[in-house]
Structure 1
């Protein structure tokens, strides 16, 4: 399992630098025989149909609708929490602690935007994982 692979030499450095290639005689008879047998193999194999393509769409819609109450709850809680964070940042601004106020406003804004984009992110994740 952990054995080292041997290095295979394909030519000399001189051949590589001059652009000369070693001509290898290829035997085309086995390739032609294998190629002519492919239509027979494919005609013998039965056709399988595993699942309809609309199944993944149904599963995606079920996953999105299952998480819909949770996303609506988080979005509903984001309004008052963002208001409180902005109010606290305003108070910090008024008392002179401007770096803390700016930090709180940045955090509240980024968090609010992420929460509001959560349904879109959910649809994106479901559509990406639908192919698996």
Structure 2
């Protein structure tokens, strides 16, 4: 008698899964959306694949960006971003190698200057310095070229 089983009926599954269980949360989300609409932010109630319910917050301006410019332009923009991202490890490697190479050339230029070949030494130092600066600015040039290409290609 002390450990008797009690059966509690909670109702049918349809009633349990019904969205009215979250009506108070939906009201709060509507209040939040009214306040944040001016900032381009929207909250919504989302059911996850595991069955859990979560509140998702999205940036309206970002999510509707694809529809604002058309699907073809959106895909072209994403493709160019992916290509630039694919080359970034190569750019990073070249930038990392530029320091020791510039150091060797600067040292060689200083040695040339020391052994009375001033013109050749100063020329090596200048070329190494300018080359190092250009290599370090390569990502900026790359981004500039991509932006010019996008502006020329899109009518």
- Does the TM-score normalized on the shorter chain lie above 0.5? yes
Among 85, 88, 93, the alignment partner of 1:73 is: 93
Cα deviation per residue 1:49-90 (whole Å; 9 max; x = unaligned)? Answer: 963543333123212101101101110110100000000011
Written as runs of structure 1 = structure 2, the 5 A alignment for 1:38-49 is: none
State the secondary structure of the residue aligned to 2:71: coil
Give the number of aligned pairs. Answer: 84
Could you tell me which runs of 5 or more consecutive residues in structure 1 were left unpaired when the two chains were aligned.
1-48
The structure whose RCO (Cα within 8 Å, separation 6+) is larger is 1
Residue of structure 2 in register with 1:106 after alignment: 126
**TM-score if structure 2 supplies the norm length?**
0.50
Which stretches of structure 1, 4 residues or longer, exceed 2 Å deviation after superposition?
Answer: 49-57
| Aligned-pair CA distance for 1:94 | 1.1
| Aligned-pair CA distance for 1:91 | 0.5
| Aligned-pair CA distance for 1:119 | 0.5
| Aligned-pair CA distance for 1:127 | 1.1
Matched, 1:64 2:84: yes
